[in-house]
Chains A and B, each alone.
Chain A
Amino acid sequence: MRAMNMKKAISKTQLLLATVVALTLLLTPAAFAAAPGITGPTFNLTARPAYISQPDGSAVYSWGYGCSVAPSGFAPALTGATCPNMQVPGPTLIVTEGQTVVVNLTNNLPNPAGNTSILFPGFQVTATGGVNGLLTREAGRATTNNVVHYTFVASTPGTHAYYSGTQGDLQVEMGLYGAIIVLPASTPAVCDSGVHASNLTAQGHWGETDFRLAHAAYNHPGACYDREYLFQYSEMDPRIHRQAEEQSTRTCTNCMNVATEPYLPAYFMINGRSMPDLMDPNYAQEYPHQPYNGNPHMHPGELTLLRIIGTGRWQHPFHEHGNHVRVLARDGNLILSANDPSSLAGPLLFTTTTTPGVTMDGIYYWTGKGLNWDPYGHNAASGSTLPCTPDANGYNTGAPNAINYFEWCQDHNKPLQTHPFGDVAGGGPATLPDPNIFANGPWFGGSPYLGPDATVRAVGNTGTTPPSGTVANPPDSEAGFAFMWHSHNEREITTNNIFPGGMLMMMLVDSREFVIDESN
């Protein structure tokens, strides 16, 4: 990847950015994601100003929800979990279906900003305290009315959004939004048997911890999952934030006059961060007000739940490389067949549009089925071949402790390359070019093959692709298949005119010998 636009004007910035990418990745080799948040069912939140950090070096004045006191707990249990008093997005509220949720919100915005509030679309909310507002009761400015209490029953499982219901064009833009995850009260037994059980066995064999919030997104056999990630899409127009910052020190109350049109966003964020900051760990100290990351990893065959929320005011076409996504639900409503509720009916998409205020739950996985070559580079002649015993669907799921657990067996041992390289057999269809005429990307695993075992065998001393410069996905330790997950309105993968940036993250499919550690 060569950052090449704004070519002369920002070349130094780019160099710096590239260095930051490389350094960050070197320093934090294992920084993954899960779907972290705080537990309740009572949440004491505050709305406050603070500066959030963007990878072009700017600190953008923003407003966000945070914890006014320490939360009752964190889920999943991650290293260094905190709930600062202001964060973007706001704390992810994790509750269980049927619980009565209480959110006490204190208004600590600057006086000129006026009142603030929270909407919980999809729930029947009772609001007390504070002052009257248009859409709900609001936390006012006086010490007597600056706390508002929202109570609702978490009636429907799934991923939900919450955001300010007061002057939304300004307050949501400034960062007042977040997610609620409602876990189903019960999950189907099938989610703990079959491949889900053997996936868990495989995780245990390699020393991985289960960081799921639940074993199913809904109480439905089609909603089982093995891993999960939450992505909240938003954008910022820095001119709006600058105006709000300038007016925040005025002495009057509820007197901000910020032009929110014309709208020209320059920052495009997932979970409040832009690439490459996005892929740093959760709760990283560099981003005290942006605790959540976007750095998805998974092993072949694991059903991965994507919890996706659109915030801000634009739609963003979120393109998942590598496979399709089955949409399970929108706004917490499972999409089922009209005449057979045991069957899913949501669409299969490779681009899942995020729409402001709308949430989506979807299932993604990757197996390598249909490549027509063995991604593990097995070589029957050299004895480096592990057995592949197909299950009823053709996958090697009977060997959860093996590197090639979940291999698609019909392509087992089938060569890709015409000529043998290292310990990878020839006889396949494709000839790779001379490595002198191509450039390696930082997430290139070093060979066409998946995992360090295969890659090291393929690029032995007769190999064809010296894996130089692959700092983010080292051939000898990870060598995953990296897939870009990004906005396909491609100008949104920039940060204030700099490419790369914005709504862009790399998803890594890792072979089993690489330990996915989601502890931070």
Chain B
Amino acid sequence: MRKMSPLYLSLVLVVVTTVAASGQSFQVQCPTATITHPFHAAAGVACSQNPTAPGCNNNEPAYTAATTLTAGANGYLVPTANVNGAIKCQQISGGDGFATMGDGSQTYLFAFGPLSGLADMSNGLPGTQFPNVFNDVAPPLVPGDPATTDGASQAPYSLGDPSVFTYNGAVGLASDLDAIASGACTPDALGRCLDGHVDTRQIMDVGVLNGNMPAPLMAIDEDDEFFLTLTNVGQVMRPDLFEQHTVHFHGYPNASAFYDGVPDASVAINIGGSFTYYYLAPDAGTYFWHCHITPPEHLQMGMVGQLYVRPRQNRVPGGTSLYAALQTQQADLRTKCDSSDILCSNPLPAVNTGATGGAKYAYNDGDGTTRYDVEYPIQIHGFDPNFHFVGMTFNPEGFTEMKDKYFLLNGRSYPDTVHNGPLATQTTDGVMHYSQPMSAIINIPAGGRALLRIADLDVTEYQTLASLGIPMQVIALNAKLLRDQAGNNLYYNTNSITLAGGESLDVILDASDTTKYPSGSVFYLYTPNLDHLSNDAENFGGLMTEVRIN
């Protein structure tokens, strides 16, 4: 270390006081406007009165041009026109829970659970919300919600009605009466001050033992700012532990160490605290996320979730050339991703196909080749029942003899993979919880194309997933489009893909040939690692699901 003033050393030593904490340990953050996303509604539109109006950051505006930036008064660039993207927020709990395996047994989890988007998640959707949805006060909630309110009563196939519970906002968010009284906060139209202050009772009621497998699904769009609050509610079943948890956004390019979620390289949140991760959405792609505390343990125990970023190209208006839209992106230094950068895989396509926007795409391809009709996040994982059993006791766990016996697609083994709707599990608090909300059925409309966003989080071995029927077209690896620097697509067809834990790829199942793939036909995704077609002692089950042409 050179040229370091002694003054610096003394400054570090002087750090003995900290500013007053913001009042409480649990809190959420979901600003309605930021430097990057100021309110930019048309003149005369008040976002407080009309939150879903264009320019209020509660919807995704069309992408027509790069954001115009100008030097602001505070020395940094601020947007003046074409504000793209929006603000997204999500809250998750870190704690424990139980899941139901394909042979009916209950398995203990170290797990994340939903504390926002509860209704969406019980329908298998992401728990990510716009601020106007997130910043709301919940109706009265009870332990087990939403399963309890829905009337779920039978594990694992709930008899509840997932349409009864409709709240998607943050759990715990409450009006900050102190801030209103002190004048620090101006109440909204309903007399509330929703500044992140929470009612901790509600968080504990809903958050304890509400672990999900997979962990809550997240989805954001390029140009979004994402505020992800992790609230550590503790592990009721393991009072001997004082486990911290973190979120590692796996694959985030040019990450900061601070928000990378590695406890060794950053900070980790203790029980009873909340930490809000802040991300500008990275390049479109299929990523995933997981806890990074003692990874061989916390990942094996279930703290693994899915996360994807939708491309700017989805917001290109219908009829607009995708090639021209990609040229627009390449002209903006922030969104440019071409061969001038060795870590970019999105040059203009070698051939301008003339494709126009208005559909859904996996990547900013510029030629429409990643278009899809329906998308399915598919997480591959494995559970070692012995490790999970020991993990529920106070005994030491071994790593070298870890051997997975349950093989999971979205936290389920066949035949649960082809069950519609959430699976419920009764946990040790005596109430039902939606433990595995995501079905693994691939429903494709006749003649349609399905995007499979596949991530593997197994901690012990490589896993293969094969398609019996519709070929798999691999369009991307590790959240990057398969395209060479000259713009040639390097997609390939295969009937199987093999992934390690810590890898993702994107597959298109193209059922556009309705002669080969007529309505009503059923195909299978399964593992040719034949010993993985089992549920512990049951010799039929495991890593398999159905592709249904509707």
Q: Decide yes or no: A317 and B500 within 8 Å by CB, A10-B396, A484-B262, A513-B3 being known contacts.
A: yes
State whether A482 touches B2 (Cβ < 8 A). Answer: no
What are the residues of chain A within 8 A of B340 when measuring CB–CB?
A: 393
Residue pair A351, B500 in contact (C-beta under 8 Å): yes
Contact assessment for A433 and B256 in the assembled complex, using a CB-CB cutoff below 8 Å: no
- Contact string, B467-489, partner A, CB cutoff 8 A, digits 1/0? 00000000001111010111010
* Chain A residue nearest to B21 in the complex (CB): A434
Interface presence of A4 (CB below 8 A): yes
B28-70 at interface with A (beta carbon < 8 Å): 29, 31, 34-36, 69
Q: Does A452 contact B (CB under 8 A)?
A: yes
Q: How large is the interface on B (under 10, 10 to 19, 20 to 34, 35 or more residues)?
A: 35 or more
Complex: how many Å from CA A462 to CA B350? 54
- The answer to whether the Cβ of B537 comes within 8 Å of any Cβ in the partner chain is no
Is B520's CB within 8 Å of the partner chain A?
Answer: no
The closest CB in chain B to the CB of A372 belongs to B280
B227 interface hit (Cβ, 8 Å): yes
CB < 8 Å: which of B264, B269, B350, B503 contacts A442? Answer: B264
Interface-located stretch among B184-192, B198-206, B397-405, B421-429: B397-405
Report which residue of A425, A434, A515 has the largest number of chain B beta carbons within 10 angstroms of its beta carbon. A434
Let me know if B181 is at the binding interface, CB within 8 A: no
Of the residues A316, A380, A434, contact of B74 by C-beta under 8 Å: A380
B462, A452: Cβ atoms under 8 Å? no
Known: A317-B500, A448-B258. A464 touches B399 (CB 8 A): no
Quick check: is B77 within 8 A (CB to CB) of the other chain? yes
Segment touching B, from A64-72, A253-261, A340-348: A340-348
Within 8 A of B (CB), among A290-330: 303, 315-317, 319, 321-324, 326
Which of A342, A343, A375, A465 counts the most B-chain CB atoms under 10 A from its CB? A343
| B321 vs chain A, min Cβ distance (A) | 24
Residues of A with C-beta under 8 A to B295: 486, 490, 493
CB distance from A423 to the nearest CB of B (A): 10
What is the total number of residues of chain A having a CB less than 8 Å from a CB of chain B? 132
Q: How far is the CB of B477 from chain A (nearest CB, A)?
A: 5
CB distance from A508 to the nearest CB of B (A): 9
Q: Within residues 271 to 320 of chain B, which ones have a CB less than 8 A from any CB in chain A?
A: 272-276, 278, 280, 282, 292-297, 299-300
Q: Does A430 contact B (CB under 8 A)?
A: yes
Contact of B459 among A2, A324, A490 (CB under 8 A): A490
| Complex interface: chain A residues within 8 A of B300 (CB) | 490-491
Whether B296 pairs with A490 at a CB distance below 8 angstroms is yes
**Which stretch (B8-16, B137-145, B159-167, B511-519) binds chain A?**
B8-16
Return chain B residues, CB-CB under 8 Å to A5.
294, 296-297, 396-397, 399
Contact for B35 among A264, A363, A429, CB less than 8 A:
A429
* Residue in contact with A433 in the complex, picked from B254, B255, B275, CB distance below 8 Å: B275
Q: Given A317-B500, A372-B225, A416-B278, decide whether A463 and B15 contact each other with a Cβ distance below 8 A.
A: yes
User: Contact at A370–B254, with CB atoms within 8 Å?
Assistant: yes
Which A residues touch B501, using CB under 8 A? 317, 488-490
Let me know if A412 is at the binding interface, CB within 8 A.
yes
Partner of A394, one of B333, B458, B459: B333
- Find out whether the CB atom of B34 lies under 8 angstroms from the CB atom of A371: no
How far apart are the CA atoms of A123 and B275 in the complex, in Å?
A: 54
Which residue of B is nearest A237, CB measured? B400
**A436, B250: Cα distance in complex, Å:** 27
Bound Cα distance A366, B342 (Å):
12
**Residue among B263, B339, B341, B400 facing the most chain A CB atoms (10 A cut-off):** B400
Inter-chain contact B478/A340, CB cutoff 8 Å: no
Q: Which residue of B251, B259, B264 is within 8 Å of A1 (Cβ)? A: B264
Residues in chain B near residue A428, CB distance under 8 A: 35
Which listed residue (B2, B267, B272, B488) contacts A206, Cβ 8 A? B2
Which residue among A394, A428, A430, A493 has the maximum number of chain B CB atoms within 10 Å of its CB?
A: A430
Interface contact B74-A368, CB-CB below 8 Å: no
A6 to B296, CA, bound (A): 12
Bound together, the chains give a CA A231 to CA B333 distance in angstroms of 34
Report yes or no: A430 in contact with B263, Cβ–Cβ below 8 A. no
Does B345 interact with chain A (Cβ within 8 Å)? yes
A447 CB to closest chain B CB (Å) equals 8
Pairwise interchain contact A437-B69, C-beta atoms closer than 8 A:
no
Q: Which among B1, B396, B502 is the interface contact of A514 at CB below 8 angstroms?
A: B1
Known pairs A319-B502, A414-B77, A481-B256; A348 contacts B280 (CB<8 A): no
Least CB separation from B242: chain A residue: A2
Check B334 against A394 for contact (C-beta < 8 Å).
Answer: yes
For residue A427, give the distance in angstroms from its CB to the closest CB of chain B. 6
Show 19 residue pairs from A and B whose CB-CB distance is below 8 angstroms, ordered by the A residue.
A8-B394, A10-B396, A303-B342, A317-B462, A317-B502, A323-B254, A343-B485, A347-B478, A393-B341, A414-B77, A429-B34, A430-B227, A433-B21, A438-B244, A459-B12, A466-B16, A476-B4, A477-B1, A497-B399
Give me 16 other A-B pairs in contact (C-beta within 8 A), A4-B297, A483-B255 excluded: A315-B462, A317-B500, A319-B502, A324-B253, A337-B488, A350-B502, A416-B278, A427-B74, A433-B25, A442-B264, A461-B14, A464-B18, A465-B267, A484-B265, A488-B500, A489-B461
